[in-house]
């Protein structure tokens, strides 16, 4: 049912933003989602969908998301493994990445730093494990304290 609804919605060629929140995204649904022509989608919000690292692996391989600028995976249990998959995605226009509440540690942030972060302008990494360790990771990478605090602005609440 949800797959049919997604196909119908995404037939609208003018659609540039897709939000699917508070659901249960399975690997099967994600596979169908990426099979659809998503090249017009620039904002993809999949917050709170019980997405795991397996779904992120499938999503990261999606070449149809070539113009994606904003991705939110907030409140999904993707962990460090999911972030590692994300870091290999080929989304050259991605500027905003919301990874709040994903159950990650400094290791996940290291995956991003090595491969993805030079393109990212806004990173929400709040409510993850070891926030101070993450700040140290940025300091070692040569980022200024000001930039690191900007990236973690929600973490200090």
What CATH number does residue 92 fall under?
3.80.10.10
* Total number of domains in the chain: 1
pLDDT per residue over 110-139, tens digit each? Answer: 888 777 555 788 888 888 876 555 555 555
Residue 41's pLDDT band, with cuts at 50, 70 and 90, is confident
Residue 128's pLDDT is 82
- pTM of the entire structure? 0.78
Q: pLDDT value at position 138?
A: 52
Domain carrying residue 148: 2-156
User: pLDDT tens for residues 49-107?
Assistant: 889 999 999 999 888 888 899 999 999 999 999 999 998 898 889 989 999 899 998 88
Higher pLDDT, 4 or 58: 58
DSSP the chain: -HHHHHHHHTT-TT--EEE--SS---HHHHHHHHHS--TT--EEE--SS---HHHHHHHHT-GGGTT--EEE-TT---HHHHHHHHHT---TT--EEE-TTS---HHHHHHHHHHTTTT-SEEE-TT-S-HHHHHHHHHHTT--HHHHHHHTGGGG-
């Amino acid at each position: 049912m949800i797959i049919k609804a997604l196909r119908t919605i995404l037939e609208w060629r003018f659609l540039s933003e897709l939000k699917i929140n508070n659901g249960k995204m399975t690997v099967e649904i994600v596979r169908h989602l990426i099979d659809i022509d998503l090249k017009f989608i620039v904002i993809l919000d999949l917050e709170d969908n019980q997405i795991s690292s397996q779904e992120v692996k499938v999503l990261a391989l999606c070449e149809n998301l070539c113009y994606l600028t904003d991705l939110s995976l907030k409140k999904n249990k993707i962990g460090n493994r999911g972030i590692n998959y994300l870091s290999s995605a080929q989304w050259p226009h991605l500027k905003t990445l919301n990874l709040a509440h994903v159950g990650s540690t400094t290791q996940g942030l290291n995956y991003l730093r090595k491969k993805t972060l030079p393109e990212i302008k806004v990173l929400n990494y709040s409510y993850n494990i070891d926030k101070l360790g993450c700040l140290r990771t940025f300091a070692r990478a040569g980022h200024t304290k000001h930039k690191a605090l900007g990236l973690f602005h929600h973490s200090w609440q």
